[in-house]
Amino acid sequence: MSPSPSVRHAEQRATVAEEQLQSFADSVKDYAIFMLDPQGRVQTWNTGAERIKGYRPDEIIGQHISRFYPPEDRAADKPARLLADAERLGRVEEENWRVRKDGTRFWADVVISAVRDAQGVLRGFSKVTRDLTDRKLAEDALRASEARYRLLIDSVKDYAIFMLDPQGRVQTWNTGAERIKGYRPDEIIGQHISRFYPPEDRAADKPARLLADAERLGRVEEENWRVRKDGTRFWADVAISAVRDAQGVLRGFSKVTRDLTDRKLAEEERLRLAQAGEAIRLRDEFLSVASHELKTPLAALQLHLEFIRGKLLDPKLLSTLERATRSTSRLNSLVETLLDVARLSTGRLELKAEPLNLSQTVNEVLAQHQITAMRAGCEVSARIEPDVTGVWDPLRVEQALTNLLSNACKYASGTPVKVVLMSEGSDVVLEVADGGPGIPPEALSRIFGRFERAISSDHYGGLGLGLYITREIVETHGGRISARNLPGGGAAFTIRLPREPGSVSARRAETP
């Protein structure tokens, strides 16, 4: 008796649906999707399965899935156990090694689901496999790199290197930290960094302020007293850097502390015993400050490059390279400054004067400093008289203006900066004014000296040589420079230059 039309129609729809499902499965190339019978033998085989596992349909259909498992898994009867778990639980998933036709292994994400009919009878299993070998290798390489980096950090005994969470609680602790501060990891992990600060600093909420500055600026550094577990104080060089993820979200802070107590005590003893004249005092101060400022960017550069070497797969590579580049640029700038001081001291600073459109030069310098000003939160405005010309050394005049702009952005960050250029008779006047904290009155008389800084704080960095070099450049041109505080806050530096100096020659030798 032939099937009724309704039965035949249902069978035809089932056939079409099956063909559509098979067509869909065959179109998927990144997943192996196939069916097994209740005993675990392959019944269907899609294009993705052939690509991932290497078998053609005629080679694998009818074969047991144990072919895909390494020898140790077959010996442990793992394929049968996974099918039994899928039958009992409805679905099982795991990540592990599987074997291709050519014998090579790949890391697979495997999902096996039981397939039952309307009456609940087991008809077989569906199996979906994805090749995650590249991800597995990347994760393994990252873990190995992190292990090497942790080993490197833990092997450092002269620096306390550790991580903080966003609230300032200790998360990691290296051997150097234990040696310098005296705490074992189990005693300090989870504790706030305020433990390391003297009572007067805790009362002034200094730990929280430093973390806030690091979050805002990216990095802060200072030298000051810290406290060990036993209550003794030590003089520390401390650098705190904000750690952010790829989306810029703050994840915590890195903190590097170096015990400079011996150096601090030695400096105090040297100063106490020093009876030499002004030249020796300046030389010692120069050597101390310069060595500190030069070693800091060098150390940062070396750490960044070492980090990159073991972190080639780290998505933060670009950020690390940028920090290394900034450290190198800073070092180059410091070295050039020191060379200028040497030239001044030995009378080898020469001016190469030529006709110059100072208006154009000032505009170019302002354009070059746009990014620096933006980073410092300084809105720069200018009132520049057109076609102010004269005979000056272009490079040195540009250097003098750059020093003044850099100082304004550094000491008066977040405030407006105004630049004015105008003619006054046979002279030209160039002024840079800011809305910052101003200059302490006691510093106005010495601000243009060597190694002098308006605000004595390592937070701002620098050698205290920029204004000294600027003064020498201006005076060598036959001009003069002055500084004053503005009513209501801020400071102004004014340069007055003759348009045509009578003669511009080599700077006379200056006795150090």
Q: Mean pLDDT throughout 248-270?
A: 90
Would you say residue 172 has pLDDT above 50? yes
Asked if pLDDT for residue 367 goes beyond 70, the answer is yes
- HSE, CB side, 13 Å, CA atoms: give it for residue 169: 6
DSSP β-ladder status, 159-164 and 122-131: unpaired
> What is the CATH topology of the domain spanning 354-498?
Heat Shock Protein 90 (3.30.565)
Sequence-distant (≥ 6) Cβ neighbours of residue 161 within 8 angstroms = 153, 174, 176, 177, 254, 255, 256
pLDDT band at 284 (very low <50, low <70, confident <90, very high): very low
- Position 459 scores a pLDDT of 46
The answer on pLDDT for 292 being more than 60 is: no
Nearest to 173 by CA among 299, 257, 296, 262: 257
pLDDT score of 510: 39
130-139, 428-437, 479-488: the lowest-pLDDT one: 130-139
pLDDT at 269: 83
DSSP assignments along 161-201, one per residue: EEEE-TTSBB----HHHHHHH---HHHHTTSBGGGGS-HHH
Identify the pLDDT of residue 503: 42
pLDDT value at residue 388? 93
More confident residue, 153 or 78: 78
% of the chain residues with pLDDT over 70: 71
Report the range of poorest mean pLDDT among 100-104, 278-282, 318-322. Answer: 278-282
Identify the pLDDT of residue 507: 38
pLDDT number for residue 309: 54
What is the pLDDT averaged over residues 422-436? 93
Round to the nearest angstrom and report the end-to-end CA distance of the chain: 120
The third-level CATH classification (topology) of the domain covering 274-346 is Helix Hairpins (1.10.287)
Among 3.40.50.10140, 3.30.450.20, 1.20.1080.10, 3.40.190.10, what is the CATH number of 132-269? 3.30.450.20
CATH 3.30.565.10: which residues of the chain? 354-498
Looking at 2.40.50.460, 3.30.590.10, 3.30.450.20, 3.40.50.300, the CATH number of the domain 25-131 comes to 3.30.450.20
- Closest C-alpha to 100, from 59, 70, 130, 62: 70
- Give SS3 for 220: strand
What is the structure's pLDDT at 59? 94
Confidence at residue 282, expressed as pLDDT on a 0 to 100 scale: 62
pLDDT computed for residue 107 by the predictor: 94
Residues pairing with 36 in the sheet = 42, 125
Residue 168 · residue 207 · CB < 8 Å: yes
Q: Is the pLDDT of residue 305 over 80?
A: no
Cα gap 110→39, rounded to integer Å: 18
Return the pLDDT at 287. Answer: 46
Averaged over 332-356, what is the pLDDT?
A: 67
Q: Which carries the bigger pLDDT value, residue 288 or residue 473?
A: 473
pLDDT average, residue stretch 70-87: 95
Task: Name the band, by pLDDT with cuts 50, 70 and 90, for residue 411.
Answer: confident
Q: Name the percent of the chain lying above pLDDT 90.
A: 52
Is the pTM value of this prediction over 0.85?
A: no
Q: Among candidates 389, 467, 391, 468, which has minimal Cα distance to 421?
A: 389
Does the pLDDT at position 73 exceed 60? Answer: yes
Interval 420-442 mean pLDDT = 92
Q: Which of 424, 432, 403 is nearest to 499 (CA)?
A: 424
For the chain, the maximum distance between any two Cα atoms, rounded to a whole number of angstroms, is 125
**pLDDT averaged over every residue in the chain:** 82
Predicted local distance difference test score (pLDDT) of residue 395: 86
Amino acid letter, 199: P
Summarize pLDDT for 390-408 with one digit per residue, the tens.
999 888 899 899 989 988 8
At 36, which amino acid appears?
A: L
Q: Write the CB contacts of 478 (distance below 8 Å, at least 6 apart in sequence).
A: 497, 498, 501, 502, 504
pLDDT grade, residue 237 (50/70/90)?
Answer: very high
Mind listing the pLDDT tens digit for each residue in 1-22? 556 655 455 445 545 445 545 5
Total length of the chain = 512
Comparing 262 with 323, which gets the higher pLDDT?
262
**355 DSSP β-pair partners:** 391
pLDDT of residue 508: 37
> Tens digits of per-residue pLDDT, 50-65?
999 999 999 999 999 9
Task: Output 176 or 449, whichever has higher pLDDT.
Answer: 176
pLDDT at 285 over 70: no
Q: Per-residue pLDDT for 152 more than 50?
A: yes
Higher pLDDT, 412 or 112: 112
Instruction: With cut-offs at 50, 70 and 90, classify the pLDDT of residue 384.
Output: very high
pLDDT for the residue 156: 58
Contact 411, 454 (CB under 8 A): yes
- pLDDT of 445 strictly over 60: yes
- pLDDT on residue 469: 84
Pairwise pLDDT comparison (449 vs 172), residue with the higher score: 172
Residue 418 identity: K
Tens of pLDDT, residue by residue over 80-119, are 999 999 999 999 999 999 999 999 999 999 999 999 999 9
3-state secondary structure (DSSP) of residue 468: helix
Cβ neighbours around 37 below 10 Å, total: 15
User: Where does the chain hold its CATH 3.30.450.20 domain(s)?
Assistant: 25-131, 132-269
Whether residue 437 contacts residue 328, with contact meaning beta carbons closer than 8 Å, is answered with no
In angstroms, the CA 499 to CA 478 distance is 10
**Structure-token pair, residue 489:** 């806050």
Task: Identify the band that residue 310 occupies on the pLDDT scale cut at 50, 70 and 90.
Answer: low
CATH 1.10.287.130-classified regions of the chain: 274-346
